[in-house]
Amino acid sequence: MEHNEKNLTPTEWHLMECLWEHAPRTGREAAEYMAAAQGWSRSTTLTLLRRMSAKGFIDCFEENGVNVYAPLLDRADAAVRETDSFLSRVYRGSVSTLLSAVTQRQSLTRAEIDELYDIIRKAEEVQRHDE
């Protein structure tokens, strides 16, 4: 199955963050990063790198006799896909229901409210343009 058909698991997100932060990374560099960030063993990181490469999320290539890894999935694309999945699964695709739930549970700062108004204004402009 191609990576564009699947969402990342929470564990895969951790490893992708490592690669999104700095790529490419050798297996050793990724293992050292994940040991410090998540407490993972070297074998855990290397196993996950192999699995994610097989799934098509990351590229594995040899450079000077060492395996090097780079993300094939852009962070922004992964975030949008995850958001779409969450919105569909939990809020049946309704952005307004999501925002209602969020604003009922926590207060927003003035800056956050202004940012939401800006987002809505931009959405209105796009809708008017598409009509």
Residue 88 within any structural domain of the chain: no
CA dist., res. 78 & res. 19, Å (int): 13
- Is residue 67 located within the same domain as residue 18? yes
Q: pLDDT tens, 7-66? A: 899 999 999 999 999 999 999 999 999 999 999 999 999 999 999 999 999 999 999 999
CA dist., res. 20 & res. 90, Å (int): 27
Cβ-contact 13, 37 below 8 angstroms? no
User: Whole-angstrom distance between the N-terminal and C-terminal Cα of the chain?
Assistant: 37
Range of the domain at 99: 94-131
Residue 83 within any structural domain of the chain: no
Spatial CA neighbour of 52 closest among 112, 12, 88: 12
**For residue 7, what are the CA distances in angstroms to 13, 15, 63, 108, 131?**
9, 14, 29, 29, 32
Q: pLDDT tens, 94-129? A: 989 998 898 888 888 999 999 999 999 999 999 888
Q: Report the domain count for the chain.
A: 2
Residue 22 within any structural domain of the chain: yes
- Is residue 21 located within the same domain as residue 61? yes
pLDDT > 80? residue 5:
no
**pTM greater than 0.85:** no
pLDDT at 129: 85
Sorting pLDDT into bands at 50, 70 and 90, what band is 1?
very low
pLDDT at 103: 87
CATH number at residue 43: 1.10.10.10
